[in-house]
Amino acid sequence: MAALADSLRADVHRMGAGERLPSSRSLVERHGVSPVTVSRALALLAAEGLVVTRPGSGAFAAGRREAAAEPADLGWQAVTLGDRSVDAAGVSWLLTPPPEGVIALSGGYLHPTLQPARALATAMARAARRPDAWEMPRLGGMPELRAWFARTVGGAVSPADVVITSGGQQSLTTVLRALLPPGAPLLVESPTYLGVIAVARASGLHPVPVPVDADGVRPDLLAEAFAMTGARAFYTQPTFHNPTGTVLGDERRAQVLEVARAAGAFVIEDDFARHLGIVPPPPPLIAQDGDGRVVHIASLTKATAPSLRVAAVIARGPVAERIRATQLVEEFFPARPLQEALLELVSSPGWPRHLSAVRAALRSRRDAILTAFARDLPELRVNRPGGSLHLWARLPDGVDDTALAEAALRAGVLVSAGRPFFPAEAPAPYLRISYGTAASEPELAEGVRRLSTVLRS
């Protein structure tokens, strides 16, 4: 579509105002594309103001806009906005699709061939047919969806403890804003999901690193960090941690809760990859929480598709009230059609089948990429994750991970430098390599081969 739009844009610039573009049918024939692609390209040019479409008579070149010649003076804005800024570089790197021909070993969502596209289309169609689909949902979320999340999490959680939110990232924003005032410290694992570092900083919080090892966060250092900072919250991913893939050990689960209890602090549990277990995951921390210490975030985009932006926050006591109030003030409620669609999806008989298929595909892909690493890059230390989408590869000392990721992109493979996953200094260079985002296992192997060529050079 982009190529057709580029070509039409060039044509339109050569045409006079009011001149007629070739018909859709001749564009289909000339460019060898589908009618849908033609109408999407024309819609894009119409949105850019370059063409005007008149139903029944075709598309016409629009007149040049005079204003374009004289760019407005926007300099005043820099002064007015002041010295605050929002750093979206890392998040944008993760969310930008790779250029044509580049193999994606980066990104946080399943390749489209692993997403339940047909089931999502059916769920959305059924949701949209409901006569009240566009009415307000019940505040806090659809009762059946809240009940589904409560059942999935288990323990003593009840549907009343669940609030439906607009995805995992939005949940992080809402929870952090609800729990902590600007300027407060937030303890986070080091490394951690770079999106939480970004959202914490954008909310005026100070992420403070607490190291993880092969068993997850170290409780002794967590206790020290609480003592040194007086922090009132710790953000953690105990299950299939991003980026290291670790699962917090059984003994440590109790210790982390105990350390947080001693500090009078909350534990924010980001359970983003529960359904992507190559091995069965342990129950979430909140299932063993006896005093409302854990605020649990359950998102489903990782097991489905990035635009299914509905998730849940589960909490008990006054903090739940604070979170509900914060959400209401910030965004009213998540769009009802999406809530309905998610409910349709998870209640359909195909849902467990989809999850089993994804887990089997991830197991096979993980094994394939590890074989490729053993063959082409035996000198790199990589972990063997029990779930989720990523490998965490330790680079040889002295290698610049950012420069390497940039060189890899030029060589046709997209990987993530480890540096942005550390809230402060990185103790060593790493790469995060995703095995769920490429099109196929041969692509994974080819991606590793390209990476080895870059590393050797």
Ligand X SMILES: Cc1ncc(COP(=O)(O)O)c(C=O)c1O
List contacts with ligand X (CB under 6 A): 108, 167-169, 193, 195, 237, 242, 270, 272, 299, 301, 306, 311
Distances in Å between the Cα of 63 and the Cα atoms of 16, 20, 21, 55, 122 are 7, 12, 14, 19, 42
Measured in degrees and rounded to the nearest 5, phi and psi for residue 121 equal -65, -45
Q: Sort residue 155 into left (φ over 0), alpha (ψ -120 to 50) or beta.
A: left
Question: Cβ of residue 314: shortest distance to ligand X, in angstroms?
Answer: 15
If the CB atoms of residues 178 and 372 are measured against ligand X, the closer one turns out to be 178
Residue indicated by tokens 């299932």: 287
CA angle, 177 then 180 then 181, to 5° = 90
State the amino acid at position 439 in one-letter form. A
Smallest separation (angstroms) from ligand X to the CB of 105: 15
Nearer to ligand X, 159 or 306 (CB): 306
Amino acid (one-letter) located at 20: R
Q: Quick one: 161 or 270, whose CB is closer to ligand X?
A: 270
Which residue, 59 or 189, has its beta carbon nearer to ligand X? 189
Closer residue to ligand X, CB minimum distance, 282 or 306: 306
The residue among 28 and 298 lying less far from ligand X, judged by its C-beta, is 298
Of all residues in this chain, which one has the CB nearest to ligand X in the complex?
168
Q: State the DSSP code for 248.
A: -
Least Å from the CB of residue 387 to ligand X: 12
Please state, as a whole number, how many other Cβ atoms lie within 10 Å of the Cβ of residue 246. Answer: 23
d(CA 391, CA 264): 34
Cβ atoms of 284 and 271 closer than 8 Å: yes
Least Å distance, CB 271 to ligand X, is 9
CB atoms within 10 A of CB 370: 18
Q: Please say whether the beta carbons of 428 and 394 come within 8 A.
A: yes
Under DSSP, is residue 56 helix (H, G, I), strand (E, B) or coil? coil
The 10 Å Cβ neighbour count of residue 37 is 17
Of 177 and 450, which has the nearer Cβ to ligand X? Answer: 177
User: CB of residue 147 vs ligand X: minimum separation in angstroms?
Assistant: 20
Provide, rounded to whole angstroms, the least separation between the CB of residue 244 and ligand X: 11
Tell me how crowded residue 47 is: count the other CB atoms within 10 A of its CB. 9
Which amino acid is it at 385?
A: P
Q: How far is the CB of 169 from ligand X (least distance, A)?
A: 4
* Shortest Cβ 270–ligand X spacing (Å): 5
Least Å distance, CB 193 to ligand X, is 4
Residue 412's identity, in one-letter code, is G
Phi and psi at 286, nearest 5°, equal -65, -25
**Closer of 28 and 194 to ligand X (Cβ):** 194
Burial of 171 (0-12, 13-18, 19+ CB in 10 A): buried
The residue (of 41 and 422) whose beta carbon lies closer to ligand X is: 422
Eight-class DSSP state of 417:
E
Identify which of residues 167 and 418 has a Cβ nearer to ligand X in the complex.
167
Q: Which two tokens stand for residue 345?
A: 């999806």
Nearest to 154 by CA among 34, 274, 265: 274
CB of 364 to ligand X, least distance (A): 22
Measured from the CB atom, is 168 or 281 closer to ligand X?
168
Least distance from ligand X to the Cβ atom of residue 94, Å = 6
d(CA 385, CA 387): 5
What is the CB-side half-sphere exposure of residue 259 using CA atoms within 13 A? 23
- CB 186 within 8 Å of CB 197: no
